[in-house]
Amino acid sequence: MNNQCILKVSKSLNKFSAIVFGCTFLAISTNSQAESCNDAKAIEQYNTAISAPDITHKLELLQQATTACSATYEILLELGDAYFENQQLDYAINTYSRTLNRSISDSQAKQANIFMRLMYAYNSKAERLTVNQYARKIQLLKANGMTWDMASEQSYQALYRKNKQQLTEVPVTAEELKIGLNKADEPSNRNLAVIGIDDDTSSSSVQIDMDIKFSSDSSSLTLASKDTLNQIINALNSNSDSIEQIKVIGHTDSKGTNLYNQHLSERRARTVSNYIQEKTPSLYARLISLGMGESELIDTSNSESAHALNRRVVFQIE
């Protein structure tokens, strides 16, 4: 990986070109052989596709190889990249999601690599909430000890910072939330939801993980948090007929004792629940507030930026 490739990633995030994939991703996650495929013809098609200059021919070869070896991580990943290169974003997202369902649980780096591809695909669709959701999945993998090469880390950080800036500067609209809630009602599209879904695929819940933040040792809503909550309330009202339950889940940073943080997270959840109830009394019976204390830190480093990230409230919609 050279600096020129990294520079292209950071300069053209919205035009994530094939050369960026070649520089940043294929070098770290795909092999010249489709390791788990035993079909000789499929392997030949895969190897030919890697160097095929024509995208139409490449797609044709990879589709044929995938038919023969549908469970192969390397082939699916290459096919997703080809769809992305051809600006067939929904096909790319679907293929990357299929790749996640393959047997890659033994490799956190492989999971993070797919999450980052999904970040870029959704960024191209301007679905910033989903970009943020996959960024958080990568953060959790990193917190659990996942390591990858410097080029991947720099590419991830570049898009993560850009997306966080967009979320900070431009308020999330109720329409964005509505799209996510509507998509979550379609089981076949669950892995495409704008907001993001519980990792438990048997669950029908949607998790809204947005910037409802608190000052240190505080359960009071900031003006910015109230603005964000108002957007969420608008979306919930628009989809109230399909909502059975709204869990409001409070979190803290790692400062203080476990017991103190547990109580603080519960107070934060109640503050948000009370605000929603005040604005929309009809949702009262479906609201449940609970606290997780410091048990689910997004960033485990002992820095002020990490602490600020961990002080939050998220929603689980069922």
- Residue 189 has a pLDDT of 31
pLDDT tens per residue, range 76-113: 889 999 999 999 999 999 999 888 876 565 688 888 99
Backbone angles phi, psi at 206, to 5 degrees: -110, 130
- Residue 310 has a pLDDT of 86
- Residue 262 has a pLDDT of 96
Distance CA 5, CA 191 (A): 30
- Residue 181 has a pLDDT of 60
pLDDT tens per residue, range 188-238: 332 222 333 333 333 444 456 565 778 889 999 988 888 878 878 887 887
The one-character DSSP state at 241 is G
For 179-209, b/e burial (b = at least 16 CB within 10 A) is bbbbbbeeeeebbbbbbbbeeeeeeebbbbb
**What is the overall mean pLDDT for the chain?**
75
Q: Quick one: what percent of the chain has pLDDT higher than 90?
A: 25
Distance CA 111, CA 95 (A): 14
Q: Quick one: what percent of the chain has pLDDT higher than 70?
A: 72
- Residue 105 has a pLDDT of 58
**Per-residue pLDDT for 24 more than 80?**
no
**Per-residue pLDDT for 186 more than 60?**
no
First-residue to last-residue Cα distance in the chain: 44
Mean pLDDT of all residues in 170-177: 60
Distance CA 310, CA 213 (A): 8
**Cβ–Cβ under 8 Å, residues 214 and 222:** yes
CATH topology agreement for domains 3-169 and 174-317: no
The CATH superfamily assigned to 3-169 is: Tetratricopeptide repeat domain (1.25.40.10)
Confidence of residue 172 (pLDDT cuts 50, 70, 90): low
- Residue 127 has a pLDDT of 81
Distance CA 81, CA 118 (A): 10
- Residue 13 has a pLDDT of 33
Confidence of residue 72 (pLDDT cuts 50, 70, 90): confident
Mean pLDDT of all residues in 266-277: 94
For 133-154, b/e burial (b = at least 16 CB within 10 A) is bbbbbbbbbbeeebebeebbeb
pLDDT tens per residue, range 26-62: 333 344 455 567 788 888 888 898 889 999 999 999 9
Residue 242 CB partners (closer than 8 Å, separation 6+): 181, 185
Distance CA 133, CA 117 (A): 13
Alpha-helical runs (H) found in 241-300: 258-279
Count of other CB atoms within 10 angstroms of residue 102: 17
**Per-residue pLDDT for 275 more than 90?**
yes
Please report, for the chain, the start and end positions of each structural domain, with discontinuous segments joined by +. 3-169, 174-317
**Cβ–Cβ under 8 Å, residues 291 and 266:** yes
Distance CA 114, CA 100 (A): 7
- Residue 266 has a pLDDT of 96
CATH annotation of 174-317: 3.30.1330.60
Higher model confidence: residue 253 or residue 298? 253
Q: What is the token pair recorded at 267? A: 């107070």
Distance CA 309, CA 318 (A): 25
